[in-house]
Amino acid sequence: MLTVVLPTDLETAVTAAAHRTGQTLNEYMTGVCADAISLEIDRARVDAYLDGLPGIPHERARTWLAELAEGKKTVCPV
């Protein structure tokens, strides 16, 4: 369990966004946090690549991008 205290204006905006998407506040915030963590993982991978670690094979990246274009959202391949 995690408790987060947001400034009033941000809490109002998050609550409104959850209602607009038809989600509970818990469902909405779970998605927001999952997206943020995924972004941080992707940033770390880019940093590792820029630091000289090997990237992923082109075909694997192409397959992932094709699936993403079809709406299948998965974590970027390693």
Q: Is the pLDDT of residue 37 over 90?
A: yes
- pTM higher than 0.85: no
Distance separating alpha carbons of residues 21 and 71, to the nearest angstrom: 18
Amino acid code (one letter) for 49: Y
Amino acid at 48: A
| The pLDDT of residue 75 is above 90 | no
Res 55: pLDDT: 81
Pick from 3, 73, 66, 16: nearest CA to 42: 73
30-46 mean pLDDT: 92
